[in-house]
């Protein structure tokens, strides 16, 4: 097998993109897969790209510049694999210039949003030029096929894995807090306000003690609305906004909580492509709650390793939290099933390698 050119952006960040990218690169190294790594805003890559993350008119020009600057490294590779959507214009330019097979990872909202954005024509050309488009769930595949059916035959559904190793010391039900943890960007689409409302109902019924909210603030007005609600309902002692946390801190939150929860709400073209939080929590034997009609259905088997709730259904979300946090027998069964669901990045990389081999043969 030849060398793989991995392309990404901000892999050292604390968001899901960053954790997935780090996992892929670490696994590629472990399985001795020859590769180079080009990234935006990362001091550990072979080189830092000038191609901007945001979609501006300068992006294609910067991508062309980066291709010229790094042509010597790129030409040593037999496959270009773009791991994050914002760097697709650079991956397309490299593919077109050097005639190297192209693989794209698409995760969710951004994959669809770009097809109607300011650089829609660039992304459409990239999707059409790609040899393979990898998505993490059937839901993402359906969303992409519905808006751009021309690429349906290129789509491969390959589930992701947890960014955390499966814990060796799984805390039992009675050693955990009667708490839940949310991990994601603080914005309307993640259903955070509805989660706070459900938390209030569960607390009033003495079914929940604490909620940890982890993630970047993407919408200041929305965040202010959340804080106002917490203050009005006297929930400050129960709800903690943690902001960004390290991998170690996040690991501790997953380990000590009885449930993780991501009650995403689709908003037009914006949707949950998978919900990495579910897979991460499973690595600690922590059951998860997610939304129906989203990528969460790929990770959660309702009634087995977690629960699925209709989007925006506050009362059902509260009941689901109460059930997981207070029923030891049910929780133990869910926890065991969650552990059994865990995938490894070694398996993911093996699937990638099979794709690379087929491209090189063809």
Q: Do residues 317 and 198 lie in contact, with contact meaning Cβ atoms separated by under 8 Å? A: yes
| Alpha-helical segments (H) within 130-180 | 138-147
Same domain, 86 and 186: no
pLDDT of 334 reads 98
pLDDT of 268 reads 80
Q: Give the domain CATH number at 225.
A: 3.40.50.2000
> Does the model's pTM come out above 0.85?
yes
pLDDT of 361 reads 61
Structurally, the chain folds into a number of domains equal to 2
Say if 349 falls within a structural domain.
yes
pLDDT of 101 reads 97
Instruction: Give the end-to-end CA distance of the chain in Å, rounded to a whole number.
Output: 13
Say if 192 falls within a structural domain.
yes
Same domain, 188 and 326: yes
Provide the percentage of residues in the chain whose pLDDT is more than 70: 97
Same domain, 202 and 151: no
Residue 362 reports pLDDT greater than 90: no
Same domain, 144 and 187: no
Rounded to an integer, what distance in angstroms lies between the CA atom of residue 199 and that of residue 320?
A: 11
Say if 269 falls within a structural domain.
yes
pLDDT of 252 reads 96
Say if 168 falls within a structural domain.
no
Which residues span the domain enclosing 191?
173-341
pLDDT of 17 reads 80
pLDDT of 1 reads 65
Q: What is the mean pLDDT of the chain?
A: 94
pLDDT of 47 reads 62
Rounded to an integer, what distance in angstroms lies between the CA atom of residue 21 and that of residue 301?
A: 26
Q: Do residues 20 and 276 lie in contact, with contact meaning Cβ atoms separated by under 8 Å? A: yes
Each residue's pLDDT tens digit, 205-251: 999 999 999 999 989 999 999 999 999 999 999 999 999 999 899 99
Rounded to an integer, what distance in angstroms lies between the CA atom of residue 25 and that of residue 45?
A: 10
Same domain, 178 and 62: no
Same domain, 272 and 216: yes
Rounded to an integer, what distance in angstroms lies between the CA atom of residue 160 and that of residue 257?
A: 23
User: For residues 268 and 192, which has the higher predicted lDDT (pLDDT)?
Assistant: 192
Dihedral, CA atoms, 92, 93, 95, 98, nearest 10 degrees? 180
Same domain, 197 and 324: yes
Each residue's pLDDT tens digit, 167-207: 999 999 999 999 999 999 999 999 999 999 999 999 999 99
Q: Chain centroid to CA 101: how far? A: 25
């Amino acid at each position: 097998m030849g060398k793989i050119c991995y392309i990404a952006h901000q892999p050292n960040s604390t968001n899901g993109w960053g954790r997935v990218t780090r996992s892929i690169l670490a696994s590629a190294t472990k399985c001795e897969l020859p590769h180079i790594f080009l990234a935006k805003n990362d001091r550990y890559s072979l080189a830092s790209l000038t191609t901007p993350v945001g979609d501006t008119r300068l992006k294609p020009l910067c991508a062309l510049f980066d291709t010229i600057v790094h042509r010597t490294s790129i030409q040593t590779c037999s496959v270009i694999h773009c791991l994050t959507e914002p760097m697709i214009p650079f991956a397309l330019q490299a593919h077109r210039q050097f005639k190297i097979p192209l693989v794209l990872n698409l995760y969710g909202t951004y994959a669809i949003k770009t097809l109607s954005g300011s650089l829609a024509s660039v992304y459409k050309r990239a999707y059409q030029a790609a040899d393979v488009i990898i998505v993490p769930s059937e839901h993402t595949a359906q969303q992409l096929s519905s808006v751009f059916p021309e690429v349906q035959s290129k789509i491969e559904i390959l589930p992701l894995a947890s960014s955390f190793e499966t814990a060796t010391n799984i805390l039992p039900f009675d050693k955990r807090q009667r708490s839940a943890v949310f991990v994601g960007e603080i914005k309307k689409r993640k259903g955070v306000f509805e989660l706070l409302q459900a938390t209030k109902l569960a607390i009033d019924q003495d079914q929940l003690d604490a909620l940890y909210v982890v993630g970047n603030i993407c919408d200041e007005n929305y965040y202010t609305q959340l804080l106002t609600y917490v203050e009005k309902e006297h929930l400050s002692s129960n709800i903690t906004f943690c902001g960004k946390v390290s991998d170690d801190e996040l690991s501790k939150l997953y380990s000590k909580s009885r449930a993780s929860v991501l009650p995403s709400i689709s908003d037009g073209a914006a949707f949950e492509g998978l919900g990495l939080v579910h897979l991460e929590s499973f690595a600690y034997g922590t059951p998860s709650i997610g939304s129906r009609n989203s990528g969460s259905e790929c990770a959660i088997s309702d009634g087995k390793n977690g629960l699925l709730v209709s989007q925006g259904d506050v009362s059902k979300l509260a009941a689901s939290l109460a059930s997981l946090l207070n029923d030891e027998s049910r929780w133990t069964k869910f926890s065991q099933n969650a552990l059994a669901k865990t995938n490894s990045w070694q398996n993911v990389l093996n699937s990638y390698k099979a794709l690379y081999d087929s491209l090189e043969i063809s």
